Structure 1
Amino acid sequence: MNLRRLLLLSQFPFWALLVVAFLFLSSTLNTRVKTTERASQTRAQLAAVAQVMQHVVDLETGLRGYVITGELAFLEPYNAAKVALPRELAVLERDGNAQGLGRIRTLIDRWQAEVAAPELLARQDSAAAAAALVKTGRGKKILDAIRAEVAAYSAGQTQTLQALETSALAQLRQLRLTLYSVGGLALLSSLLATLYSAHKLSGSFGHFTAAARRLTSGESGVHVDPSGPAEIQVLAGAFNHMSGALALAQQQTQAHADTLVARNDWMHRLGEFGDWMQAARSLEEGARILECALPELLPGTRGTLLQHNASRNLLVPLATWGGETGAATPPDGCWALRRGEIVSPGMDRLAPACLGGLGGSYMCVPLFSHGETLGIMRLRPEVEGVEVPESLRALLPGIVRQVSLALAGLRLQDRLLQQSIRDPLTGLFNRRRLEDDLATQTAHATASGQPLSLIALDVDHFKRLNDTFGHDAGDAALVRLSAALRDVAPPGSTPARPGGEEFSLLLPGHDLAAATLLAERLRAEIAGWALTHAGISLGQLTVSLGVAGYAPPLSTPDALVRAADEALYSAKRQGRNRVERAEPLHPESWLALMPG
C-alpha cells in the first residue's frame, strides 16, 4: 500500500460525516428561510392593512370637513385616499386572506355609495341638508363595521406572525444544536483520523529521524533500511544517495574553504595595496609601493613594470621585483601593446617573441585606463622553465586593473599638480608656487642662517611691444625670456612668473652679491638679443631687475618681496635696462617694509 491510499482511507469517515451533515443542515436551513420569508410577508400585510385603515380615516375626515365648511380644499385627503384604496386592496387580496379583505372592500364601497355620495350631493344644495344626513348616524355605523373587520383581520395576521416567529426560533435552536453536534463529531473524527495517520507515518519515518540525527552529528556513511510503503522505499534510496553525496560534498567544501581563505587573504593584500597606492603622492612613491606589493600579489614571479615616457616613444622601467633588471624598450616592439591583450611568447602557440630580443619564457600584460595606454607589465616565472600557474594567470586581470587605475590616478595627480603650480604660457612656476617656496625658504634661512635672495624682473616698455607688434609677438618674447631665466637659474632655485611681464627668481644659498651678479648676467644676455617674430624684427628687448637679500629675524617673505620690488622700481626710475639691489637696511627700514 502506498501513502496516498493510506491517507485517503484514514480520512474517509470524516468526509462521509461532512456529506451527511451538509445534507441535514441544508434541509434545516431551507425550512428556516421559508418560515422567515412567511413572517416577513405577514408583517408586510399588517402594515398594509393599517395603511388601508388610515385611508378610510382620511375619507371620513375629508368628507366631514367639506360638509361642515363647504370648502373644496377639505376634499383633498378624501380624493387621495379614494384613488389609493383600490390599488392597495388589490395587493392585499393577492397576497393575504381574500375573504376577510373582501368584507372590508364591500363595507368601504357601501360607505362611499350610501354615505359619501349622498352627503356630497346634499352639501352642494345646502349645509342643512348635508347635516341632516350626517345626523342619521348611518356613516358612523358603517365605519364602525369597517374598523371591526380590520381589527379582526389584523388579529388573525398577528396570531399567524407569532406562530411563524415561534417556529423560526425553534428551527434556529435546532440549527444551532445541529451545528454544534456536527462540529464536535467532525473535530473528533478529524482528530482520530490525524492520530491514526500520524501513528502510521511516525512508525514509517522514525528510522529516518534516527538516521538524520546520526548524519547531523557528523557521522558519515549513514544508511537506512528501504522497507515499508513504496514512497518510503524511494525516500530511503534517496536518503542513502544523499548521505553518500553529502560525504563527498563535505570533502569538496573543505577544499573550497581552503581556497576561499587563500583568496580572501589575497584580496586583503590587494585592497591593502590599493590603499597604499591611494596614499602615494607621486609616481616615484607609487613605484616603491609596487616593488613591495607585486612580489606578494604575484608570488613565484619576477618582472618589470614599464611606462611610456613623456614623448611616448619609449617604455621606461618604473618598478622591478624578484631580482629582475629592467631596461627601456621601444613600444612598437611589444606584441601585447599591438594586440591590446595578454601575450605569452614561448607559452602561446602563435605568439612570437617581442622585437627587443628578450629570451626565455615571459608574459606581457598591457596596462590600460580610461582608453589610455599606460605601459606594460612583463613578468617571468621565478624559476626558468616553470610555467606561471593557471590560478595566478586568472588573478592577473584584477591585479592589472588595480595597478592601472592607481598609475592613472598618480599620473593625473602629477598633471594637476603641475597645472596648479606652473604658468601655462612659459612653463615657469606661478605666483602660488612662488609664495609657497618663499614661506618654506625663509623659514629654512631663519633656522639655518643660510643666505637667501630674490630677483624681481620686469620687461621694459612691454605694453609698447604688445601695441606695436601684437600679443602673439609679446607672448613669444615672454617665452624666450622665461627660457633664459630657466637657463641661468641654479639647481634648487625657483624661477617664476607671478603675472604679466613680471618674473621672479628665488635663490636659496645666494647672498645679495651673488644674486646681483646673476641678475647682471641675465640682463646683459637679454639686452644682446635681436628678437624677430613672423619674420619681423621686434627691436631690442631690455629688462629692469631688482635684487633683495633676506635678513632674519626682522624680515618676512612679504618684506623680502617688497624690498625686491622697491629695487626694481628704482631701476625703472633710473632709466631701465639695469640692475638695482636693495642695500642692507636698518631694522627700522625693514619694519617699514613689513605689512601692517
Structure 2
Amino acid sequence: MRLRHLLFLTQLPFCAMVLAAFVILQGSLDRRVQALAQVSETRTQLERTAELLTHVLDMETGVRGFVIAGQPAFLEPYYRGEAAYPVVINGLRGDATLGDENRARLGQVTDLLRQWQAEVAQPEIRLRAERPAEAEALVRSGRGKRILDQVRAGVSEIEQTLRQRLQSMDANAQAQLGQFQRTLAGVAVTLLLLSVTITLLTSRLLTGPLAALGRGTQRVTDQGAVTVTERGPREYRELAGAFNLMSRGVQEARESSAHAAAELGRRNAWLRDLAQLSDALQAARSVQEGAAILTRALPHLLPGTSGQLLQHNASRNLLLPAAAWGEGMSTPGPDRCWALRRGETQGGEAGRPFMPDCAAQEGTYLCAPLFSHGETLGLLRVHPAPGVDPEGLRGSLNDVARQVALALASLRLQDRLLQQSIRDPLTGLFNRRHLESQLAEGVVAAQGGEEALSVVALDIDHFKRLNDTFGHDAGDAALVRVSAALRELAPPGSTPARPGGEEFTLLLPHVGVAQAAALAETLRARVEGLDLAHDGISLGQVTVSLGVAGLPPGGTGEALIAAADQALYAAKRAGRNRVVVAGAPALQGQAARS
C-alpha cells in the first residue's frame, strides 16, 4: 500500500467525526440563534414602549410650558411627540409577536392619547392664545393629568408583560447555551481523542524510516560542509558526489540564510521604528504636533540624509515647510515639482541638463509626493549624504512617505472635523457646545486662581421685525455683520459664540466686569454705526442690547450665564440699544456720548 493511500485511510474516521460534529453543532447553533432573535424582538418592543413614554412626556411638558410661558417655542416638543408617537404605536401594533392582550392595551393607550389631544391639549393651546385664564383653569382641573396617568399605566402594563416574556426567553436562552456548551465540549473531547489516536498510529508507521534518514543527515547538520571520499563502485561514487554537492549547497545556504537573517533583522527593527512613528502620529492632535514628531523621527528612519517636509497650501498654491532636519534645503513651487506632477518619487542631481529643474539644490535629492484620496498633501524631500545610495534609499523613503501621508491626512481631517464640531456654520463663531465647555474650564480656572471671569450676552434688537420686513436672507446678513464686529473686538483668549438665533455670547477670562462693560459699550456703538444693506436695499439701523455679568466667589457657570441674560433682559426692558451690568443701571449709548 502506498503512503498516500495509508494516510487517506487514517483520516477517514476523523473526517466522518468532523462531519457528524458539524451537523450536531449546526442544529444547536440554529436553536440558539432563534432564541436570540426572539430576545432581540422583545427588547425592540421594550425600547419602543420607552420611546412612546418619552413622546408622551414631551407632549405633556410642551403643552404645560406653552400654557405657563405663552411662547410658541415651548410647543416644539409637543408637535414632535404628536408626529412621532403614531409611528411608534404602528410599529408596536405591526409586530406579530406583541400578543393580543398587549395589542388591546395599545389600542386603549391610542384612544386615551387621542382623547387627551382633543379634550385637553388642543383646547389648552387654543385658550392660551385667546383666554389665558381659562387655559390655566383647564390645567388646574387635572383632567389632562388623569388621562395621561391612564396612558402611562397602560404602557407600563405592556412593558411589564414584555419584561416577563424577556425573562422567560433569557432563561430559555441560557438553557440552550448550556446545552450548546456541553455539546461543544463533548465534540471537542471526542475529536481530540480521535486525533491523538490517529496521530499515534500514523507516527508509529512513519518514524522508523524517518529515524534512519535522520541519522544519515546528522553529520551534515552538526558539521556543516562534509566531504566524503568518492571511491568504490560507480553507484557509490555517484552517490558520494551527490552527497558532497548537497553538503556544499547546505553550507552556502547557511551562509546566505545568515546574511538574509541579519538583513531581515535590520529591516524588522526599521519597520518597528516606522510602526512606532505611525503610533505617535496617530496620537498627535494637530499638524504642528505631528511635524514636531517627524522632526525627531525622520533623521532616525532616514539616516545619512537631510531634508524637509513641505505641506501643500491649496488656497495659496504654495509648499510651506512643516518640518526639517540636517542641512537647509530650498523650497520648490508646486508647479515646478515633477514629483507632484507625476505622482511618484523623483530623483535627480542639480546641474544635469536632462533633469527637470525642481529646485536649486546642490547634489543628489529625492522627492516623494504625499497624496491621500486624490488630495495633494505635500512633499517629502531628502538629500542623501555622500556615500549613501539614492536608489537604496528610495524604498525606505516611499514607506515613510506613505505613513506620513496617512498621518497628515488624518490630522487635517481631525482639524476640519474639530472646527466643524465647535463652529456655527453661518457666522463662524463658536457654537453652544464649545461655549459651555470653555465656560466650565473658565470657572474652574477662575476659582482655582482667584481670577476674574466675565460674560457679555447680546441680542439683536427687533430681529424678528427685520426678518419679517426684509426676509431671512437679510436677517442672516445682519447676523454675519454683527458676528464680524464681535469677532473683531473679542480679545485674545476670549470665546465669541453664537448659542442660537439672534443671541450672541462673549466669554472673557481674566477680564473684570468694568472692562467687560467698556468692551460691551464699544461693541454696541460699533454695531449702531454699521451701514447694513442686502441686495442693494438698506436694512436701516441695527442695534443690540447687551448684558454684562462677572463671576462672584463660589459662583457657577450656569449662574453667571443667567445673570448676564437677566442683565440683557433688563436692557431690553429699558428701551434696547444699551448695556446693562448685572446689579447696575443701564448704560445708553447716546446718553454716554452726550
The verdict on a shared fold, with TM-score over 0.5 as the criterion, is: yes
Contact 1:274–1:402 (CA under 8 A) maintained in structure 2: yes
- Other structure's SS at 2:376 match: strand
> Could you say which residue in structure 2 is the equivalent of 1:399?
400
**Deviation at residue 253 of structure 1 after TM alignment:** 0.9
> Could you say which residue in structure 2 is the equivalent of 1:238?
242
- Other structure's SS at 2:425 match: coil
Matched residue type, 1:247: Q
**Deviation at residue 463 of structure 1 after TM alignment:** 1.3
> 1:419 aligned to 2:420?
yes
The equivalent position to 2:324 in structure 1, one of 315, 320, 323, is 320
> Could you say which residue in structure 1 is the equivalent of 2:357?
353
The equivalent position to 1:296 in structure 2, one of 297, 300, 310, is 300
Contact 1:523–1:578 (CA under 8 A) maintained in structure 2: yes
Contact 1:346–1:353 (CA under 8 A) maintained in structure 2: no
Matched residue type, 1:563: A
Matched residue type, 1:368: F
Over 3 Å counting, the alpha-carbon distance change for 1:366 and 1:494 in structure 2 is same
**Deviation at residue 474 of structure 1 after TM alignment:** 1.3
> 1:583 aligned to 2:587?
no
Any residues of structure 2 matched to 1:114-125 within 5 Å, and which? Answer: none
Matched residue type, 2:472: H
Over 3 Å counting, the alpha-carbon distance change for 1:252 and 1:408 in structure 2 is same
Contact 2:461–2:577 (CA under 8 A) maintained in structure 1: yes
**Deviation at residue 313 of structure 1 after TM alignment:** 1.5
> Could you say which residue in structure 1 is the equivalent of 2:276?
272
TM-score (norm 2): 0.60
1:329, 1:503 → 2: CA distance? 45
> 1:434 aligned to 2:438?
no
Matched residue type, 1:423: D
**Deviation at residue 227 of structure 1 after TM alignment:** 4.2
2:265, 2:223 → 1: CA distance? 23
Sequence identity percentage: 57
> Could you say which residue in structure 2 is the equivalent of 1:305?
309
**Deviation at residue 378 of structure 1 after TM alignment:** 0.9
**Deviation at residue 584 of structure 1 after TM alignment:** 7.7
- Other structure's SS at 1:486 match: helix
Contact 2:443–2:556 (CA under 8 A) maintained in structure 1: yes
**Deviation at residue 312 of structure 1 after TM alignment:** 4.4
1:259, 1:341 → 2: CA distance? 27
Contact 2:345–2:398 (CA under 8 A) maintained in structure 1: no
> Could you say which residue in structure 1 is the equivalent of 2:571?
571
Deviations 1:86-129 (A, max 9, x none): xxxxxxxxxxxxxxxxxxxxxxxxxxxxxxxxxxxxxxxxxxxx
Deviations 1:248-270 (A, max 9, x none): 11111111111011011101101
Contact 1:567–1:580 (CA under 8 A) maintained in structure 2: yes
Over 3 Å counting, the alpha-carbon distance change for 1:496 and 1:444 in structure 2 is same
> Could you say which residue in structure 2 is the equivalent of 1:457?
458
Contact 1:224–1:239 (CA under 8 A) maintained in structure 2: no
Over 3 Å counting, the alpha-carbon distance change for 1:418 and 1:226 in structure 2 is farther
> Could you say which residue in structure 2 is the equivalent of 1:225?
230
The equivalent position to 1:370 in structure 2, one of 359, 373, 380, is 373
**Deviation at residue 393 of structure 1 after TM alignment:** 1.6
2:249, 2:375 → 1: CA distance? 51
1:227, 1:405 → 2: CA distance? 68
Contact 2:224–2:251 (CA under 8 A) maintained in structure 1: no
Contact 2:330–2:361 (CA under 8 A) maintained in structure 1: no
Contact 1:211–1:222 (CA under 8 A) maintained in structure 2: no
Matched residue type, 1:220: A
**Deviation at residue 524 of structure 1 after TM alignment:** 0.6
**Deviation at residue 528 of structure 1 after TM alignment:** 1.0
1:217, 1:357 → 2: CA distance? 60
TM-score (norm 1): 0.60
Over 3 Å counting, the alpha-carbon distance change for 1:363 and 1:474 in structure 2 is same
Contact 2:311–2:322 (CA under 8 A) maintained in structure 1: yes
Aligned residues: 376
**Deviation at residue 558 of structure 1 after TM alignment:** 0.3
> Could you say which residue in structure 2 is the equivalent of 1:556?
556
1:545, 1:305 → 2: CA distance? 48
Any residues of structure 2 matched to 1:4-403 within 5 Å, and which? Answer: 212-223=217-228, 225=230, 227-228=232-233, 230=235, 232-309=236-313, 311-322=315-326, 324-325=327-328, 329-346=332-349, 350-354=354-358, 356-381=359-384, 383=385, 385-403=386-404
**Deviation at residue 583 of structure 1 after TM alignment:** 2.3
1:387, 1:262 → 2: CA distance? 17
Over 3 Å counting, the alpha-carbon distance change for 1:454 and 1:490 in structure 2 is same
- Other structure's SS at 2:553 match: coil
Contact 2:543–2:577 (CA under 8 A) maintained in structure 1: yes
Contact 2:329–2:361 (CA under 8 A) maintained in structure 1: no
Contact 2:489–2:523 (CA under 8 A) maintained in structure 1: yes
Contact 1:316–1:327 (CA under 8 A) maintained in structure 2: no
Any residues of structure 2 matched to 1:438-449 within 5 Å, and which? Answer: 438-449=439-450
Matched residue type, 1:444: A
> Could you say which residue in structure 1 is the equivalent of 2:166?
none
2:231, 2:486 → 1: CA distance? 99
